[in-house]
Amino acid sequence: MPGRQLVVEADGGSRGNPGVAGFGALVRDVRTRRVLLERAEPLGTASNNVAEYSGLIAGLEGVLRLAADADVEVRMDSKLVVEQMAGRWQIKHEDMRRLAAQARALVRQISEAGGRVRFTWIPRADNAAADALSNLAMDGRRIDRLAESDDTARDTTAPAAEATPTANEATTSTTAAIDSGRGPVLTDPHRIVLVRHAVTDNTVSGRLDGRGGSNPPLNALGQAQAQAAARAVATLVDGIPVSEAAPRKVRVVTSSLARAMATGDAIAAALGVDPIRDRDWDERSFGEWDGLTFEQIAARHPAKLARMRMDPSYPPPGGESRADVAARVHRAWSAVAPGPGVTIVVTSRVPILVVLNHLLGIAPERFWALATDPASISVIDLWADGNLSVPAVNRVDHLTEVERS
């Protein structure tokens, strides 16, 4: 028998389709009608459908946080999402297939815990609360509000951070001040360590190598870099105080690409944990440009290359736009951001830049300004009141001169 009865109300929107996008989701208790959880997140540039699916995923993740064995009714005003999730409409677009697969995996988790999920289409007027949250997200707000009791709530409502570091500020600490309606929380941050994979032969030769490409292994230099990164990350984790309120929980998450998995496996072994794979952390797909150097692309397609670097919605031929990558990376970030503890994410350059640009509020035209060298380490601390600090970006002091070459 399913347990608690819950309702998920979810929505997403895009001002331009594709354009500035965001999602909103909330979870209600059916009996009391009380809102138990609210979530909203900007998605950068994305389509309406991506935003709507992202809202659904956020709502289902909220159910798993509250009561995995719940009897859940998902209510959305997106006929497309409801019919596709119910299995009555085919899903033709690859991005939608990936999103639907992620949503179904969450539904499966609820079902395996003894719960069940059903989908109901509702008119837009009946989805006003989720719509309001998605509009806040499109305005740049981030919300993760969990009601813990009738008179206590954890509120991490956050506007976009305003700091804009320049390239190669390897150890600059930036703190985003966030007004959450409560006093500051100064203890037990959730530390997220972003590690770029070590080098392959393609990395050394400057050839693009994204999702769907040749997926080469680490070369000998890369293997040495991975071991050096593992030692450095282990030192970072050992240096974090442990409190009774927040006992240390450590996890390692990697993309599904061979170079990230090998780097992550070295780190996981040093920490004594099993790595978790998440394809949403994969490097951008470069399509027809995969395996080429920037010099070759600039010689053959100078206008397309210039547009791709400046326009987040423009993909390389047959590949992903920066907005496409941002949509899946934001989903992956939402899965790792809840703390406390330490999470190490081993991924590639573009996903790291998506996270750092988003958290630091860097203008889209400055997307490429931050340096992210192979086997580099960047550190983000998140507090329960919504504040964040970035104490390190592109740290490479753990590598020898040979390993940095």
**pLDDT recorded at residue 385:** 63
Q: What is the pLDDT of residue 207?
A: 95
- One domain for residues 83 and 178: no
365 given a catalytic annotation: no
Q: Are residues 20 and 119 in the same domain?
A: yes
- Residues 6 or more apart whose Cβ sits within 8 Å of residue 401: none
Please identify which of the residues 9, 52, 61, 283 carries the catalytic annotation: 283
Question: Per residue, what are the HEC states of the chain?
Answer: CCCCEEEEEEEEEEECCCEEEEEEEEEEECCCCCEEEEEEEEEEEECHHHHHHHHHHHHHHHHHHHCCCCEEEEEECCHHHHHHHCCCCCCCCHHHHHHHHHHHHHHHHHHHCCCEEEEEECCHHHHHHHHHHHHHHHCCCEEEEEEEECCEEEECCECCCCCCCCCCCCCCCEEECCCCCCCCCCCCCEEEEEEECCCCHHHHHCECCCCCCCCCCCCHHHHHHHHHHHHHHHHHHHCCCCCCCCCCCEEEEECCCHHHHHHHHHHHHHHCCCCEECHHHCCCCCHHHCCCEHHHHHHHCHHHHHHHHHCCCCCCCCCCCHHHHHHHHHHHHHHHCCCCEEEEEEECHHHHHHHHHHHHCCCHHHHHHCCCCCCCEEEEEECCCCCEEEEEEEECCCCCHHHHC
Q: Tell me, what CATH number does 73's domain have?
A: 3.30.420.10
The total number of structural domains that make up the chain: 2
Look at residues 125, 155, 185 and tell me which one is the last residue of a structural domain: 155
Instruction: Say if residue 223 is in the same domain as residue 142.
Output: no
Residue at token pair 């995996």: 105
Q: Which residues contact 90 (CB under 8 A, 6 or more apart)?
A: 84
Q: Is the Cβ–Cβ distance between 107 and 74 less than 8 Å? A: no
pTM for the full predicted model: 0.57
For residues 92 and 233, membership in a common domain is answered with no
**What is the chain's mean pLDDT, rounded?**
84
Looking at the fold, whether 142 and 76 belong to one and the same domain comes out as: yes
Q: Are residues 39 and 116 in the same domain?
A: yes
CATH code: domain of residue 257: 3.40.50.1240
pLDDT value of residue 157: 43
Strand order in the sheet with 341-347: 174-176, 388-395, 377-382, 190-196, 341-347, 250-254, 276-277
Q: Which of 271, 267, 276 is nearest to 218 (CA)?
A: 267
Burial of residue 279 (number of CB atoms within 10 Å: 0-12, 13-18, 19+): middle
Could you tell me the residue range of the domain that residue 211 belongs to?
Answer: 174-404
- Taking the C-alpha atoms of residue 390 and residue 368, their distance in angstroms, rounded to an integer, is 18
* pLDDT tens for the 405 residues of the chain, in order: 567 899 999 999 998 888 899 999 999 999 888 899 999 999 988 899 999 999 999 999 999 999 999 999 999 999 999 999 988 888 877 778 889 999 999 999 999 899 999 999 998 878 888 998 998 899 888 888 887 543 333 344 444 333 333 333 333 333 333 333 333 344 467 889 999 999 999 999 999 999 999 999 999 999 999 999 999 999 888 755 444 444 468 999 999 999 999 999 999 999 999 999 999 999 999 999 999 999 999 999 999 998 888 888 899 999 999 999 999 998 899 888 876 789 999 999 999 999 999 888 888 888 888 999 999 999 998 877 667 888 889 999 888 877 775
Is residue 380 assigned to a domain?
Answer: yes
* Residue 167 falls inside a structural domain: no
- In the residue annotation, 283 being an active-site residue is answered as yes
In a domain, 164, yes or no: no
In single-letter form, the type of residue at position 296 comes to Q
Q: Do 308 and 395 reside in the same domain of the chain?
A: yes
Residue 201 lies in a domain: yes
From the candidates 9, 38, 52, 197, which is the catalytic residue? 197
Residue 10 lies in a domain: yes
Q: Are 40 and 107 within one domain?
A: yes
In a domain, 168, yes or no: no
